[in-house]
Amino acid sequence: SMCVPPSGPSAEDLAEKARIDSVRNVRCPRLMSSAAEYYNARDWESTVRVYGEVVDLGCDEWDATYAPPEEIYQYYGIAYEQMGKYDSSEYVLLKGVDKIPNNIDLRVRLAYAYKRQGKTDQEIVEYERILDELDPNNIRVMTELASLYRKEGRYEEQIRVLQKLIDIDPTNEAIIADLTTAFERTGKDPLELYLDKYNNNPTGTNGIQLADAYMENDRIDEAIDILKAVSRKEPNNKINFSKLGDAYILNEDFSNASNALEQAYKLDPRDYKTAIRICEVNSELENFGKAIIWADKAIRGSKSAGEALGAKGDVYYKAFHTCRTPEVSRDDRIVARLAYKYYVQAESKGYRNVTGSKNWLRDNEVLFSKSDWFMLDASQKNTGYATVKTPCYSWVTERLSKDSNW
């Protein structure tokens, strides 16, 4: 007999479809609304029962606005989860993923259902699929996957994922630490990895990672060479100049450290912590005048943070120890008192790192005090302040005002 081509749906099919549609028009809105009520009331048994009817009736195919499938399968799965029935949750979520394969929330729920059943391999595959098919830069999924690979001893794969995470978030210390551990577990030297990575792709990020690895290994000169190369290619990379400053400080090359940190500061003049570091390295160089200028920038930029006030006190403190005479001159005492003044202000802002130096000045009786004021000549007293004259303190422009108790 001849094959008759099908001539579209039969009258019976159309009638059946119309009947189901009319049932859906009545039942689906009611079911969706009672499912939501049960869900909100945390009545999981009833939630599961009603969503079962919703799915059997095909409400998600009837009207995706009233009955959005991503919502149905998500809440249906969660209700089973809440009942501790992870196998049922898995079954429901698999149906959902079949219907809407691009929904990440459903995939993540499914992975969780696998996790609770101890189906680690399937959990891993689900996360891999999300990254391969839907969202290659999903940080949450990558973090989860890296930790699963670690637990399973799959270190090579863990390293691959962690490297992607580092590319997205280059300064994340936790990831860097995990990566280093993973390398040790595979018997690889992290330095080799960073070197390969940098040579294949000499970006600032890769250069900074390599320089960090060199510094970890006390190979400071090599770190400096890499960071200098990066700074030539990326003159606006603040982190790079900041790291270069670190490296020079480790080498006790304070003059170059100051230059590098000043470049970092130029790129971000609101970063008062960099100003404090510039102040500190200049103090090491005994460039006290320049150190004070940077301490003042830090104080302005931080709206008088304790740490910045403490840094200014430290400049005067170090200068006192550098310039003092054996018998502690009047000028020495003025500078000691200026240090003390900023230490007191720093402490009042809750900054405690200066307490040791502050107490040393007090306990060693080197502070300018009432008896020193008394010894000043009349013309100096009349100005209401004391100033320093010694060449070693020629950079001190600040006056010490008379204390009300003197």
Domain end, chosen from 83, 104, 136, is at 136
CB atoms closer than 10 angstroms to residue 80? 23
Where do the H-state alpha helices sit in 86-172? 86-99, 104-116, 120-129, 139-151, 155-168
- What gap in Å lies between CA 351 and CA 262, rounded to an integer? 25
Q: pTM of the predicted model, to two decimals?
A: 0.63
Residue 377 has pLDDT above 60, yes or no: yes
- What gap in Å lies between CA 167 and CA 136, rounded to an integer? 12
Domain end, chosen from 136, 165, 195, is at 136
| Structural domain includes residue 215 | no
117: domain CATH number? Answer: 1.25.40.10
Split at pLDDT 50, 70, 90, the class of 13 is: confident
| Structural domain includes residue 145 | no
Element housing 352 (H / E): none
| Structural domain includes residue 311 | yes
- What gap in Å lies between CA 221 and CA 28, rounded to an integer? 72
Mean pLDDT of all residues in 233-237? 95
Identity of the amino acid at 132: D
Residue 135 has pLDDT above 70, yes or no: yes
| Structural domain includes residue 38 | yes
- What gap in Å lies between CA 62 and CA 390, rounded to an integer? 92
Partner residues linked to 400 by β-bridges: 386
Q: Which residues constitute the domain of residue 306?
A: 295-406
What contacts 112, CB < 8 A, 6 or more positions away? 81
Residues belonging to the chain: 406
| Structural domain includes residue 35 | yes
- What gap in Å lies between CA 100 and CA 105, rounded to an integer? 11
Instruction: Provide the pLDDT for residue 3.
Output: 67
Encode pLDDT of 298-328 as tens digits.
Answer: 999 999 999 999 999 999 999 999 999 999 9
Domain end, chosen from 136, 170, 189, is at 136
Half-sphere exposure of 355 (CA within 13 A, CB side): 7
Number of helices and strands in the chain (H, E): 22, 2
| Structural domain includes residue 254 | no
Instruction: Provide the pLDDT for residue 387.
Output: 95
| Structural domain includes residue 46 | yes
DSSP string spanning 378-404?
HHHHHHTEE----GGGTT----EEPPT
Residue 288 has pLDDT above 90, yes or no: yes
Residue 171 has pLDDT above 80, yes or no: no
Going by C-alpha positions, the residue among 268, 288, 278 that lies closest to residue 308 is 278
| Structural domain includes residue 239 | no
How many structural domains is the chain composed of? 2
- What gap in Å lies between CA 338 and CA 188, rounded to an integer? 54
Split at pLDDT 50, 70, 90, the class of 350 is: very high
* Percent of residues, the chain, with pLDDT higher than 90: 83
Identity of the amino acid at 180: T
Tokens, residue 403: 């204390």
